[in-house]
Amino acid sequence: MDSAEAKPEPNARARELYSQAVHEVPPNRSMLDKLADYLRVNPHLLYGSMFTDAYDAANTIVGMQESNDIHIREALDVLTPPAVWGWAVMEDAVCLSTPAHILQTTYPSLAQQFLDLVSRTLDNMSTTPGPVVRRAVQALTRFWPVLIGGCIVEDPGNSAWRKMYETTLSLSRDLMNLSETLEDPAMQVHLVKLLEVEAVMFSPPPPTGDAPGHGIVNLNRIPDPHPYMNRAELGRRSDVARKQLINLLPESDNLRMCNVSFITGIINSLVYLMSMRPQFCSQILDRLTDWFGVINSSEQALSHSQLEIVSKSLRIMLLHLYTLKHMAPYSELLGNTLDSLGGSDWEAWQERQRHERRRMRAREEEMARRAQRQQQQQYPAGLSEGGVARDEAMRRDRSASVHAGQKRVVNLVEDEDEEYQARMLEENAKRVRLDEAGEATAGGMQADVRGVSAQTQQVSEKDKAMEAEVRAAVNSGPFKLQPTAKLSDDEREQLIVDAMKRIVSSSKTVEKFITYSRLQGFNGMSIQQSPADAAPSRAQIGSTEMGARSSLPNGLSTNAGVLEDSVLLLVRMISNCYVMYSNSVFSSGKPEGSGLTSKWSELHRCIDSVLETIKESPRTRYSLAIMVLYELWMAVISTDPCLEQQPGSPNFEYSAQALYLRWCEQIFDAIIKCSVETTIAQIQAQVVPDMNANAPGAPVPPQAPVPAPPTTDRLVLEYILDAPYLPPEYLKKLEVCMVRPETATLGFWTIEKAIEMRPPVFRAGLSILLSHSASHDRATRIGCIRAVKKHYMNSSESPLIEKTARASFKIGVKEADAKVDQFKVELERIKSTEATTPEEVAKREADQVALKQQGDNEVDLALAVHGEILLALCTRNVELLKAVFDEFVAGSPLVKRSIIRLIVPLVKSQSAALGRLMPVVAQFPEGSEDLAIRVIKTLALEGTAGGASRELVQSVFEMQKTRELDARFIAAVANGLTREEAIIWLGKIVSLLDGKETTASIIKDFFIQVTMSGTGRPSALSPVELLVALHGNMGSAVSEDKAEAAIVLYSKASRDGTTPAFNSNQFTVAINMLLTQEPIPPLVLKTVEIQHSAKNAAVGPAVSTLDSLVKKKFWEMGGTMTRAVARGLAVFLPGTLALTKNIPRKPLKKIIAMEPRLNRAIYDYAMKMPPRDQDHYKWLIKQHKK
């Protein structure tokens, strides 16, 4: 955004807060709240990348079902705080006062994205975490009046508002209906706010503009008729919302089930409604009075304390409403209500009003007397008795005008002023007492300090002597570089040698003082203290000039400033010596003699004590370390501006650059060590172990809340940013932080910030992050991946990142394949184990199951460790998904299943970007069809209203047509097909049956999805229509066996694995419909048999179906139908024997020939008949007698 680019500092601060919050595991909630507050102060940052981050955070968690699975719980712990923050940011973006240029260009699209996400969140309410759903409802409630009052009314010509209005109207209607049955108290609070907003917003405003908020949302400003807003309908919604809000007051029988805060919240909403729309005051007050009387008279409704809270809240809210100016016409009604409620608050307020009236009366009388005296002084003789009478009458009229009228008057401004002044006087009195106590304490402290100072005076004399010695050693006047151009070579060498001797001599004095300082234990140069010892004692406060805090010319301010100043002067002498040496080399044109090598070596060694002093406590002496490095770096760039000398070159060992690099590296090592120790100490301090916790008989302590994680130490980052020069390879030293989970956050957070703020170390830091993006520690892996992902798209190193991610995923697949082979060998070994007893057999089977589960887990882990970085980058560049498809082809079946499980969350997060995702999926290589189908299936399940969008269905049709794919791809979008499409593709999908369990699962899932409806989306086929269609002409590719198998799968289909998806009634209806068709499909009898066996139904319906076919003369319907009837008569024996009476002899002979088991059964049945009824079976009886 332009405004964001105009203010880079706030934008950088916002990005820093966001990174600090989301890169912790779990995310830092307080930091997210701070970021939300910061964005409200800088609203121009709400539009742009921050809105995108907020949308992604809130969209990722939609539909994530809470579960006992530890991985899902960890994911929810990590994703829920950013999602809640994302809703807060989007709410502010669409509800705060929007700049004009943003309102015209960006705001409509942002608001539409916001509403789409609200709709998707509410559609998946049951599978989305509660805090996220409640935040979405709160954002929608706040956006509702903004849309009408700030968008539709102010900009009526914008066509974008219509769709938003219709969407918001539908969502709010669903939420209003939900408020009547919802039992979640936390959600009820937000629904109460929605009812309050609708009751106020859609009600006619009061005739005067005195009510607060008048004119914000005023339906009178909307033309009637309006193109899409129906004012009459909105008025009815207001009445419904007001009645629902009143009816939410709980009755006495369920009062204990309600939270007191929830009850007071409803009362607050009703009072607010009365203040905004006073015309409903009488109706609401009557209901409130009756309700309070019921709960007050019922002793078992609430406890005494709860009743006190509710009654006090009600009295205070009504009293505040009573004092509002625009409520004056209803003051008598409110006063009577308060009289009935009673309470000390109301009585005290009345007493203050009576006191105020007396004060005003006295004030009027005093003003009248003063005016009278002034008039008498001005006109002493000219005022007649009539004038005095008139003046007295005017005074009485003024007094009566103040105190006449109602029984009670509203609170006056002077009353508030008087109370405010009284409170201020009381606060001032407290402040004076505190100031006096502070002065007394300060005086006592000064006396104590003077006493301690007197006791330490003798010790300070020795300190002063040592200090004077150091000053004389290193501060012997200004240092001037000697001109070396006119000197001979020997003179120049001698000059440099003399300078080196002075440095060595001074360093010994400084070293002596360092040793002395350690013995004395001064604050400024002592070893780093613990936090408990950080506060100075009185003895330290009373120390003399040596220990007193002094400000030095170099900017340092410490208790041992002389020593620090001496260290800097010593380093400056070394720098000047190097500059003198460089000038000498330049003047002579050749290097000096090799005799100086030993001198340079001695010079480097003589200041090692200074380096050790800094390394002992790098945090305390951080400023000194940075200033020393800058002094050394000045020598480096003065002697070798182009940095031509590099490690390994001649004479580099004792150069200024070598000295700088050695100091820089060792200080960096010390700082890393200090920061690691500090981080570990902070973590260990979070939990103090109880030595008696595990003692026998010890009581179980209550579960304490988990403390907040420690903040990340910034010392290493500050050194990287402050050092004048830091070789990029030094960042590898931070890998010591990454190997321990406790300090991993310190490592990747520091590197992420460093590569942002110090570009020269970008590539080195990025390489470290990439190498640890495959860490087995999940927190380390996620932190590094987030940092890499942040710099992926806008970096020149994008090809390196992509190459590393692809290689990492390939390594993951190879490791997973190796683990599969390893577990196969182990599984074969277990299978070959001899087992004779049942216990041994059961143990062997249990070991096999456990090993298979372990194998699945380890394969998943190997792929997650090496593949998460590639999947994370896919959210920025979907083209990288091709690498996943390529590796899928070469994987083993177990690895393929693991890849499918790994990729599902990514596909869910990209469900709103079909335009980017589907072109990549359409190019899947041969052998990765299963992965492509799973991607399409996931997108179909994540669609709006629980079904595949038409865009997705059309994309799949295009893929199928272009690449001649099989019908499994169409089955993946079954929940988005129309009725005609489902019937057309039914035959091709059934023809997929090949006897494998995976194919059967696809067919059963297709039957369930094609008959499942969603919110606002009817199913493509009803269960009865689907069963009838399975008996129709599904094409020549569907044989009779496959059709029968499809009906068997239909009967076994289940949505939850236990409950059948289709019941017996649907079978019966479908069979009856099939019997009315012409011609009747022979498969209907197989369906009857399947229903009987699958549903364990009675034989009666099957016999009835066969009877219908006998009456319809099945023998005239062809040989296929005859064979089907013959099988049915045989399967449902003996209930079908009676039907043979109505079958002519010739068809009956064919049936018996087709089903030989009918021969004996019918013969036995005929022999049991009376002789007169055996005529129809004579041929069969004769046959058996022969």
Domain assignments of the chain as residue spans, ordered by start: 1-178, 479-522+554-641+651-682, 1091-1185
The confidence score (pLDDT) of residue 726 equals: 92
pLDDT of residue 249: 76
Tell me the backbone φ, ψ of residue 551, rounded to 5 degrees. -100, 125
Residues 6+ apart with CB under 8 A from 484: 492, 495, 580, 583, 584, 587
Residues 6+ apart with CB under 8 A from 825: none
Question: What does the pLDDT read at residue 299?
Answer: 57
Q: Is the dihedral of CA 1058, 1061, 1063, 1068 positive or negative?
A: negative
Look at the block and give the residue holding tokens 């006998």. 1110
The Cα 151–Cα 107 span in angstroms is 10
Dihedral sign computed on CA atoms, order 428, 429, 430, 433: positive
Contact assessment for residue 820 and residue 895, using Cβ atoms and an 8 Å cutoff? yes
pLDDT of residue 397: 52
d(CA 897, CA 899): 5
d(CA 1039, CA 723): 80
Nearest by Cα to 824 from 796, 790, 858? 858
Q: Spell 188-225 as b/e; 16+ CB within 10 A means b.
A: bbbbbbbbbbbbbbbbebeeeeebebeebbbbeebeee
Phi, psi of 441 (to 5 degrees): -65, -40
What are the tens digits of pLDDT across the range 5-53? 444 466 777 777 777 777 666 777 777 877 787 777 777 777 777 888 8
CA distances from 484 to 100, 479, 589 (A): 69, 15, 12
Instruction: Give the Cα separation of 641 and 627 in Å (integer).
Output: 20
Q: Residue 211: what pLDDT?
A: 52
pLDDT for res 324: 78
Q: Kindly list the distances between the CA atom of residue 556 and the CA atoms of 612, 624, 931, in Å, as whole numbers in the listed order.
A: 20, 8, 65
Tokens of 251: 């009755």
**Overall pTM > 0.95:** no
DSSP string for 461-488: HHHHHHHHHHHHHH-SS---PPP-TTS-
pLDDT value of residue 521: 54
Specify the DSSP element, H or E, that contains 860: helix 838-874
Residues of the chain with pLDDT under 50: 1-8, 101, 209, 214-215, 381-390, 401-445, 447-449, 451-456, 458-459, 462, 473-479, 522-560, 592-594, 688-710
Q: What is the pLDDT of residue 355?
A: 73
Asked if 752 and 720 count as a contact pair (C-beta separation under 8 A), the reply is no
Strand partners, 437: none
CB 733 within 8 A of CB 669: yes
Amino acid (1-letter code) at residue 201: M
Listed in sequence order, the residues at least 6 apart from 605 whose beta carbon sits closer than 8 Å to its beta carbon are: none
C-alpha 36/C-alpha 32 separation (Å) is 6
Q: Give the CA distances from residue 557 to residues 551, 562, 565, 623, in Å, rounded to whole numbers and listed in that order.
A: 5, 10, 10, 10
Residue 1068: exposure state from Cβ atoms within 10 A (0-12, 13-18, ≥19): middle
Give the pLDDT score at 836.
Answer: 79
Rounded distance between C-alpha atoms, residue 385 and residue 39, angstroms: 73
At position 324, the amino acid (one-letter code) is L
pLDDT at 886: 92
What are 41's two structure tokens? 């102060």
pLDDT of amino acid 418: 45
Structure tokens belonging to residue 552: 């030095």
DSSP-derived 3-state class of residue 218: coil
Amino acid present at 1068: T
